[in-house]
Amino acid sequence: MLDSTSSPPTAGTRDHGPEPRRFDPRALRADFGASLVVFLVAVPLSLGIALASNAPIMAGLIAGVVGGVVAGFLGGSPLQVSGPAAGLTVIVAGLVDQFGWQVTCLITVGAGLLQVVFGLTRVARFTQAIPPAVVHGMLAGIGVTIALAQLHIVLGGSAQTAALDNIREFPAQLADLHGHAVIVGVFAIVIMLVWPRLPGPQKAVPGALVAVGAATALALLWPDVARVDLPGNLISSIALPVLPESGLWAGVLGGMLTVALVASVESLLSAVATDRMARERDGTSVRTDADRELLGQGAGNAVSGLLGGLPITGVIVRSSANVRAGARSRLSTILHGCWIALFGIALVSTMEMIPLAGLSGLLVVVGLQLVKPADIRTARRHGELALYVVTVLGVVFLNLLEGVALGLVLAAVLMVWRAARARVRVEEPDTGPRRIVVEGTLSFLSVPSLSRTLTAVPAGEPVRVDLVVDYLDHTAFDHIESWAARHRATGGFVEVVEPEQARAARDVPHGRFATWSQWRAEGLAGGASAPMRAGLTAYHRHTAEQVRPTMAGLAGGQSPSGLLLTCADSRVLPSMITQSGPGDLFTVQNVGNFVSGTGTLAAVQYSEEVLRVPLIAVCGHSGCGAMNAVLNGRGARGPLDDWLRNGEPTVRAWVQGHPAGRAASRDGFGQADCLAMVNVALQLDRLRDMGVRAELMGLFYDIRSASVLVYDQRDRVFHSHERAFAQLPAALR
């Protein structure tokens, strides 16, 4: 698999990454230790989520056991940990209020069976069609709802069902604080916020465990603080689901579908994040089998519902703890479920010492952590902030289904609006006629905007209309023709330039990537600077106005998606081979694309520590002068000779038979090109040795064929981009 992949889970993928193929005592020790860490995180979260869901508190532990054992054994993500999730609390609380607990258990069973159907019919890929802004907005809305409700319990009161009621009653709650419970709850919140920021090795202990443990110890001072009240142990709390009354089946079926969809999406999103963390930790490619994951989640929900447990999903909090603790296989997930079972059977009296305000304080922080500033920045950068905000408000003030539906409807409206809206701008050059440039899709939806611009043209003034559009419908065409006839009647000159004519009128007739030598730079004097001046003139004439809005948005700073380290060769254009635009890539070019030298190393450090790029790619190319010089002798002494010494390790690796060089030789590449591929592989190794946290990708640009090969980190060979990306989901190819 490719080291460069950061793909979502995809159907049919069978590689589960770091799971050992044979007995490995080191992996067993790692899984055993990680399972204990995850167990300590899961217990307080399971209890708190049950409390927030208005469910029997032992239902959280039952779901934790089933999520660990059943979903952990059957699922397609070996390092993901499943259990009761904060993202379902609002839904479950509503179902419990409407149908009662045992009917809610039936809904959980039905949701699990639907997930099994999803897995068998391989529909996981379609979850990728949901806009990320809607998914993140849904989770943020759930988090806000949880925090608003649990904050009332922290303050010693009781939560209301509706978020608006919780907001409305908050001032009265503050004016009438309920004694010691407030101190315990606030104490738990403070610990949850402060603990991860403390320096030192104690951060290895989960903050949730510390918060609940400290709150429990503090509550021992005050007997009046309400505590967890358990009816028995884990086994005695098992309760079978019951059928609803005949008139409630429509609502029950709707609840099953809602739980199944939300649990599936949240599980797959968590699996993507877990895969990414595992790759960053191990430097190997980890991919979830999404359809198998849905089967495992479905089986887990069916069993959890049958035993009287909460619905389960993949949970990023527990999964991240599992990865950070060093888990190597699904054994860690399964063992953590066993520890929860042991705790719920043998240590019930310990749980009854936990104060409710402490659990609520934990949930306030967990809920607010679902509102992630990074998600807001991403939505804003992609022009989808409205989707995020509308979904959040809908989930908080209506309900989850209506909030998500509002987000999806708005996404569809924005898609139609962007697809059908033309961009109309006016250019007033110093000489020549006024230009009205129309770009995009010119349909009847854009006629009002176009009409305002055309009507503003003074009578009798010469004007040229450039229709640089990919679609022109009859309504818009008729409107332009009618206006042109009226304007000519006033004595004005009108020239309407159709798309082909507009393209032919450009200074760069051979297309965007023509060279200066192919341009017709009339009007410019000769000399060495003529091509550069021709380019600058064409830029200001045709490009500057188009990119001005984009550049204005980037003027406040940059947030590139990756660092691309390439050779300084003039034939290698990073923006061309990646089809990237302004702000997309942080680019560094040097002779031979070496990870060396103060400037390059400073750029890598800057991209990691300041820009926090998620990807670093190294790109070599065919016919590289640096590789030829390293291979054939560096030549005259001087700065260039000193710099090319960076290629000596590459030569040694090639001579010793590096797999990338051998494979390239078999494919017919010359010695210098084989060396260039080995060089890319070694620069990636150096980045990894430097402790780079970003994902790494290796590329090789074959200039003659204008094709890009991609480095397979596992097999240490280069493949065509088609073969390399064939492992990605169909939606991403």
Average pLDDT over residues 142-151: 79
pLDDT of residue 419: 67
pTM here is 0.51
Contact between 379 and 385 under an 8 Å Cβ cutoff? The reply is: yes
Lowest-confidence region among 5-9, 79-83, 253-257, 580-584? 5-9
**Same-domain status, 117 and 81:** yes
Tell me the pLDDT tens digit for each residue of 96-131.
Answer: 988 999 999 999 999 999 999 998 988 776 666 677
Q: Is residue 601 pLDDT above 80, yes or no?
A: yes
The domain that holds 648 is classified in CATH as 3.40.1050.10
**Same-domain status, 392 and 440:** no
Task: At 274, list the tokens.
Answer: 């877990």
Q: Is residue 510 part of a domain?
A: no
Tell me the pLDDT tens digit for each residue of 11-46.
Answer: 333 344 444 444 466 678 888 877 877 786 777 778
Average pLDDT over residues 620-637: 83
Distance separating alpha carbons of residues 58 and 668, to the nearest angstrom: 65
**Same-domain status, 89 and 38:** yes
The domain that holds 488 is classified in CATH as 3.30.750.24
pLDDT of residue 624: 93
pLDDT of residue 177: 65
**Same-domain status, 493 and 578:** no
Residue 222 backbone phi and psi in degrees, to 5: -130, 105
Q: Is residue 441 part of a domain?
A: yes
Distance separating alpha carbons of residues 527 and 136, to the nearest angstrom: 56
**Same-domain status, 433 and 306:** no
pLDDT of residue 2: 32
**What confidence tier does 502 reach under pLDDT thresholds 50, 70, 90?**
very low
Tell me the pLDDT tens digit for each residue of 337-347.
Answer: 998 888 888 77
Measured CA distances, 338 to 86, 198, 342, 555 (Å) = 22, 31, 6, 54
The proportion of the chain whose per-residue pLDDT surpasses 90, expressed as a percent, equals 24
Distance separating alpha carbons of residues 330 and 271, to the nearest angstrom: 13
606 class by beta-carbon count within 10 Å (0-12 exposed, 13-18 middle, 19+ buried): middle
Q: Is residue 14 part of a domain?
A: no
**Same-domain status, 215 and 356:** yes
Measured CA distances, 106 to 46, 102, 387, 655 (Å) = 20, 7, 33, 66
**Same-domain status, 39 and 129:** yes
**Same-domain status, 460 and 405:** no
**Same-domain status, 402 and 429:** no
Tell me the pLDDT tens digit for each residue of 399-423.
Answer: 666 787 888 888 888 877 776 677 8
pLDDT of residue 636: 58
345 class by beta-carbon count within 10 Å (0-12 exposed, 13-18 middle, 19+ buried): middle
pLDDT of residue 202: 63
**Same-domain status, 265 and 373:** yes
Domain, as residue range, for 238: 27-410
Average pLDDT value for the chain: 80
Contact between 276 and 8 under an 8 Å Cβ cutoff? The reply is: no
More confident site: 517 or 57: 57
pLDDT of residue 70: 94
pLDDT of residue 327: 83
Number of compact structural domains in the chain = 3
Residue 423 backbone phi and psi in degrees, to 5: -100, 120
pLDDT of residue 329: 87
For residue 14, give every residue at least 6 positions away whose Cβ sits within 8 Å of its Cβ, in sequence order, or none: 289
Tell me the pLDDT tens digit for each residue of 523-579.
Answer: 445 566 667 777 777 777 667 777 887 888 888 888 899 999 999 999 999 988 998
Please give the helix or strand (H or E) that residue 496 lies within, else none.
Answer: strand 494-497
**Same-domain status, 354 and 493:** no
Considering 504, 527, 544, which residue would you say is the last residue of a domain? Answer: 504
Q: Is residue 245 part of a domain?
A: yes
